[in-house]
Structure 1
């Protein structure tokens, strides 16, 4: 029993005393520079499209019967039924000329009623044509609905009301995120090979000093490679002089020398000087 406790104590000692091995990722897994509150974004669903669909009747929708149509149908049915009952019941035995005129008049009235009923069935088609925009006012209203729906399909909103998501004018989000993934790999490679000159091109001067000091703590080349990485925009804002973006990276690292893997959970904060033409986006903060 004493021997078992001795072995158990030795295992605990070795476990706590052993150094923690981790991939030597860019920034050393620490936070530097500026920091902002971030939140994921979602695509805003167009509300106007549903409103327009509700207002537009479809071809499969049945026409609503009016009181006039209902009364006309009942009257026509009663007249037709009365004539048949009278004819087969012998009410016209010994028919006279005036009786023929009365019958003809009744048939004429019934014919007019049926014709009116057939005409009322074409009313829904007229409504559909009106909603399609025959009049200038209806055409303008339909165009406004379509424009608002198209605008909603391309807009994004933050899941946190306190986090802004205002994209700078002319900003191509998909192209920017594709480029940021490549830059993430490029900067990690420069960090491995201690190429501080290349890193300087991507970061602000203040952030560069902190990163250079952190890299000096590592000896020689590192062997951390990015297995895969994805990028998501989690904050965006701008004013007359400055634009700001925050990108959240997710993926996985691998250190070939140490044989360890780690998750990528970094957030980069970038800024761009809008007062200078063709100014680059520079990393001003890292949240590990």
Structure 2
């Protein structure tokens, strides 16, 4: 029993004394500075071509084929009846004669049908219903151009938040792909600076208030750290701006490890950034970290 309690006490001591891997990650795995409500962004799907129209086009072609076959069969039947009347129930008439008579009957039937349709339908009306109006492509092009102009006028550039309470208004002339690519690189750079206690390099990326918090947290760690970012991805989860300030929130996801401690953990950080729009060439600064 005494041996069991000794082992239990040793396990508890190691658990509470051993440093957690989060403490060696940038920010110490804690939340600092400003915080905002965020939500994943969803890309608005472009309007797709009406598949119903395509589906309707195929039945039209099929119906025309059916009409052709039906007309041929009707003509053949009519030819058979004519042969029955004039040939004494097919006496003395060959099969080719029946086909010729049926074809003639079919052509006469189609001519009568075309004449009746022309008389009963105003000029161009049937073509418009069939989708062959010469003005229809121009109308579709005009509607598509209007839709494109409306979408380009939107500030979110084809993106929207999945939460109605979370703004997603991108600043003017904002290149989101380039920004997210740079954010992934900056995540690695800042983690390396955190490992080597290069606080001056970190100062370039954060606001003065956040830098004070981070400096105090890094002082709790001794010497070099060995947190390695295995892979990381970035997603914009909030965006807003006014005449003076632009705000962005980036959610990082990935994996990091500490080879010295033999620890691997997920990356689930959110950085909140701001940029002064009044000052020319002002940089984006991290103003808050959510762990």
CA distance in 1, matches of 2:62, 2:224: 80
Deviation at 1:254, TM superposition (A): 2.2
CA distance in 2, matches of 1:252, 1:22: 15
The corresponding residue for 1:248 is 251
* Stretch moving more, 56-65 or 33-42: 56-65
The counterpart of 2:288, out of the listed 270, 276, 285, is 285
The corresponding residue for 2:52 is 54
The structure-2 alpha-carbon separation of the partners of 1:147 and 1:85, relative to structure 1 and needing over 3 Å to count, comes to farther
The structure-2 alpha-carbon separation of the partners of 1:238 and 1:79, relative to structure 1 and needing over 3 Å to count, comes to same
The structure-2 alpha-carbon separation of the partners of 1:133 and 1:169, relative to structure 1 and needing over 3 Å to count, comes to farther
The corresponding residue for 1:234 is 237
The structure-2 alpha-carbon separation of the partners of 1:146 and 1:156, relative to structure 1 and needing over 3 Å to count, comes to closer
Q: Tell me if 1:223 matches 2:221.
A: no
The corresponding residue for 1:28 is 28
The structure-2 alpha-carbon separation of the partners of 1:176 and 1:8, relative to structure 1 and needing over 3 Å to count, comes to same
The corresponding residue for 2:40 is 40
Contact 1:207 1:284 (8 Å CA) reproduced:
yes
Contact 2:79 2:105 (8 Å CA) reproduced:
no
SS in 2 for 1:252: strand
Deviation at 1:135, TM superposition (A): 5.8
The corresponding residue for 1:141 is 143
CA distance in 1, matches of 2:78, 2:150: 54
CA distance in 1, matches of 2:170, 2:38: 14
CA distance in 2, matches of 1:124, 1:116: 19
The corresponding residue for 1:102 is none
* Stretch moving more, 278-287 or 20-29: 20-29
Deviation at 1:126, TM superposition (A): 8.5
| Paired residues, number | 258
The counterpart of 2:191, out of the listed 166, 188, 192, is 188
CA distance in 1, matches of 2:109, 2:218: 94
CA distance in 2, matches of 1:28, 1:81: 94
Deviation at 1:162, TM superposition (A): 1.9
Deviations along 1:47-70, whole A, 9 cap, x unmatched? Answer: x425x443466652326979xx9x
Contact 2:151 2:158 (8 Å CA) reproduced:
no
RMSD between aligned alpha carbons? 3.8
CA distance in 2, matches of 1:245, 1:188: 20
CA distance in 1, matches of 2:104, 2:260: 101
